[in-house]
Amino acid sequence: MGEGDRIVRVDLANESVTSEPVPERWLRNYVGGKGLGARYLYEEVGAGADPLGDENVLLFLTGPLTGYLPGEQRYVVVTKSPLTGAFLDSYAGGSMAGRLAGSLGDHVGVLVTGRADRPVALSIADGEVSIEPADDWWGLDARETDERTPDAAVACIGPAGENGVAYATIASDGGDHHAGRGGAGAVMGAKRLKAIVARGESPDPDEDLRELRDRYETAFADDDTGRWHAASETLETLDFANEVGVLPTHGWQEGTFEGADEIGIEAVRDAAHEREREDDPVPGGFRVAGDDGDSVPRGSTPIALGAGLGIDDFDAVAALGAICDRLALDVISGGNAVAWAIRASQEEYVDRDLEFGDQAAARELIEEIATRSTPLGDALADGVEAAAETYDAPDLIPSVKGMELPSYDPRGAAAMALAYATSDRGACHRRARPVETEAVEGDWTTAERVDRVIAEQNRRAVLWSLIADDFVGDALVPDLGAELLAAVGRDYEPDDLRRVGERVWTLVRLFNVREGFSRADDELPVNLTEPLEGGPNDGAAVATDSFEAMLDRYYASRGWDEQGRPTEETLERLGLADLAADIPAATQRGDTE
């Protein structure tokens, strides 16, 4: 337990597999998961590397507590994103995380380099990794691939990854779980790597650690977040967002959806026939049946594929989610891409008859995106910013760093605009979710918004280095997992772990700055300066001046300069001084100095 101190390096071009030690200082300073992945990516991938080229790397990593934490176990995929060109970390739950940890022996993960000359899979068991041919798996969807190895856990790509869709996912459990946003599946496809197969069993904690985990599970079950999660998983997000007027509807034009009750949590409960881990103290998602088999919709499914597309029939929404799952296509970016096409059609930028509420047309376009089989599908496969450029259209759907906004419209909670803009991987609601408080409490000051966003970003950076379940991690907030880490022989004080979170967030910023990102990339999407229509926030917009003031304060509070570059003093304080020379004097993506 906690003894993993090596990493497996797989060179697909040379068909070589080696085991090497992880530098001890890296293990201490970055813990595992996100932090260790960020350090390896910084070291291995040079500035300007093509995300889909041989020079990019792909890391599959566990954390020091994988298999021992309460709730759903998770693993992380770290790479350079083909959607944004920025750092990418993407997490998935289900059976793969525990079985990967149990298969790796004394290794913390697998680092994949190069490109195979034909489709391959990696098989992992007893601390050993082998490269195996997978020609007959190429072309299979996520469920079909998973069925090829019923005695193992599989993380694989589907047609979207094989065709280089910039937001292709890496699917596990037949598509029930995904390392979703940012396109890690496309990187996997570019390397001709169809699947990772973990043949071991999840680690079995000893009695003391089991008792500690049970105590944390009980604490979480008694927590407000735990009770909410047990009742609804993430699917009540739609109901909450609709109630407070921040539900992105009809392609981000409105903040509420008249059909919300038809696709919200009660509709899900009525349709579900069971839940994942139903008898677990921390139950999982709701399983629903459909024409294409079972699926497990998450909160983003009814938001992006329901309200976002104006579809008010839950069976239709679940069916769209199921096809995205099988194609291994991110539902958030996929839903936004279809919404962009509908709005572009209505404004005559695209010569195609598309309407909100048309489930059949939405499904047809999703399949075109995954296969790049039509000009519109091919353009949308690179993201809405790329499609807008191809069709000479305006910014119809908001995005940050090339990644489409997800679950909450920040025009009803301005701190969320800052959270999206400063998210390290592009627009993401998981790095910080201040909307869940600000939308209820009312107006915050600029200082309150900035402080809340930074605190949440730092906290999640360290929890994702453990790697903790995103929601169960709330039960670890008092000591950030220090007690659990001590139980596996990793001694940290809570203040040490707070410093780890800030260090990891700053290291990722360094990676992005080295890639040419600057203040111009932390900009407010122009769509959000336009007023919402209807609901509690009718007429609301994010004021540019107040946003810029938040961004100024955010940079200053983080110890970054006015362009968002960490200062030498900040790097020295965080133990990153050796990387100071990598900061360019001026960025390449639009400095405003």
CATH number of the structural domain spanning residue 16: 3.60.9.10
- Is the pLDDT higher at 430 or at 365? 365
Q: Count of CB atoms within 10 A of residue 353's CB?
A: 10
Q: How confident is the model at residue 440 (pLDDT cuts 50, 70, 90)?
A: confident
Tell me: pLDDT of 402 over 90.
Answer: yes
CATH code for the domain in which residue 307 is found: 1.10.569.10
> What is the CA angle 283-287-290, rounded to 5?
175
Task: Give yes or no: residues 347 and 418 share one domain.
Answer: no
Residue 351 and residue 353: Cα distance in Å, rounded?
A: 7
Predicted local distance difference test score (pLDDT) of residue 407: 85
Tell me: pLDDT of 205 over 90.
Answer: no
In the block, tokens 């490269």 appear at: 131
Predicted local distance difference test score (pLDDT) of residue 551: 97
**Residue 265 contacts by C-beta under 8 Å, 6 or more apart in sequence?**
232, 235, 236, 238, 239
Tell me: pLDDT of 460 over 80.
Answer: yes
- SS3 call for 399: strand
| DSSP assignments along 226-272, one per residue | HHHHHHHTTTTHHHHHHHHT---BTTTTBS--TTHHHHSHHHHHHHE
Residue 212 lies in a domain: no
Which of 48-62, 197-211, 251-265 bottoms out in mean pLDDT, i.e. has the lowest? 197-211
Q: How confident is the model at residue 480 (pLDDT cuts 50, 70, 90)?
A: very high
CATH code for the domain in which residue 466 is found: 1.10.599.10
Task: Give yes or no: residues 112 and 83 share one domain.
Answer: yes
Residue 149 lies in a domain: yes
Which of 31-35, 66-70, 243-247, 472-476 bottoms out in mean pLDDT, i.e. has the lowest? 472-476
Q: How confident is the model at residue 585 (pLDDT cuts 50, 70, 90)?
A: low
Task: Give yes or no: residues 184 and 246 share one domain.
Answer: no
Q: List, for residues 326-354, the tens digit of each pLDDT value.
A: 999 999 999 999 999 999 999 999 999 99
Average pLDDT rounded to a whole number, residues 233-246: 92
Residue 20 lies in a domain: yes
Task: Give yes or no: residues 438 and 471 share one domain.
Answer: yes
Predicted local distance difference test score (pLDDT) of residue 3: 61
Average pLDDT rounded to a whole number, residues 112-133: 98
Task: Give yes or no: residues 64 and 189 share one domain.
Answer: yes
Q: How confident is the model at residue 592 (pLDDT cuts 50, 70, 90)?
A: very low
Task: Give yes or no: residues 191 and 279 share one domain.
Answer: no
Residue 348 and residue 356: Cα distance in Å, rounded?
A: 15
Tokens encoding 29: 């300073």
Tell me: pLDDT of 586 over 70.
Answer: no
Task: Give yes or no: residues 416 and 483 share one domain.
Answer: yes
Q: List, for residues 146-184, the tens digit of each pLDDT value.
A: 999 999 999 999 999 999 999 999 999 999 999 999 999
Predicted local distance difference test score (pLDDT) of residue 2: 47
- Is the pLDDT higher at 591 or at 501? 501
Task: Give yes or no: residues 157 and 190 share one domain.
Answer: yes
Q: Which amino acid is at 311?
A: I
Residue 141 lies in a domain: yes
**Residue 486 contacts by C-beta under 8 Å, 6 or more apart in sequence?**
492
550 neighbors 414 (Cβ within 8 angstroms): yes
Residue 224 lies in a domain: no
Residue 365 lies in a domain: yes
Tell me: pLDDT of 565 over 70.
Answer: yes
Tell me: pLDDT of 439 over 50.
Answer: yes
Task: Give yes or no: residues 92 and 54 share one domain.
Answer: yes
Predicted local distance difference test score (pLDDT) of residue 16: 98
Q: Give the percent of the chain with pLDDT over 70.
A: 98
Closest CA to 72 of 468, 463, 488: 468
Tell me: pLDDT of 578 over 50.
Answer: yes
Q: Give the percent of the chain with pLDDT over 90.
A: 81
- Is the pLDDT higher at 312 or at 592? 312
Eight-state DSSP code of residue 23: P
Task: Give yes or no: residues 422 and 546 share one domain.
Answer: yes
CA distances from 459 to 283, 518, 582 (A): 24, 23, 26
Residue 304 lies in a domain: yes
Cα dihedral across residues 61, 64, 66, 72: positive or negative: negative
Cα dihedral across residues 330, 333, 337, 342: positive or negative: positive
Which range of residues forms the domain containing residue 102?
A: 6-198
Residue 9 and residue 20: Cα distance in Å, rounded?
A: 7
Predicted local distance difference test score (pLDDT) of residue 190: 98
- Is the pLDDT higher at 2 or at 288? 288
Task: Give yes or no: residues 66 and 36 share one domain.
Answer: yes
Residue 227 lies in a domain: no
Our count of domains for the chain comes to 3
- Is the pLDDT higher at 437 or at 547? 547
Task: Provide the b/e sequence for 125-150 (b: ≥16 CB within 10 Å).
Answer: beeebebeebeebbebbbbebbebbe
Residue 457 and residue 424: Cα distance in Å, rounded?
A: 9
Which of 221-230, 307-316, 384-393 bottoms out in mean pLDDT, i.e. has the lowest? 221-230
443 neighbors 458 (Cβ within 8 angstroms): no
**Going along 386-469, which residue ranges are E strands?**
399-400, 403-404
Q: What is the mean pLDDT of the chain?
A: 93
Residue 480 and residue 100: Cα distance in Å, rounded?
A: 24
Predicted local distance difference test score (pLDDT) of residue 590: 43
Burial class (CB in 10 A: 0-12, 13-18, 19+), 586: exposed
In the block, tokens 């082998």 appear at: 130
Task: Give yes or no: residues 418 and 566 share one domain.
Answer: yes
Predicted local distance difference test score (pLDDT) of residue 225: 81
Length of the chain as a residue count? 593
Predicted local distance difference test score (pLDDT) of residue 584: 73
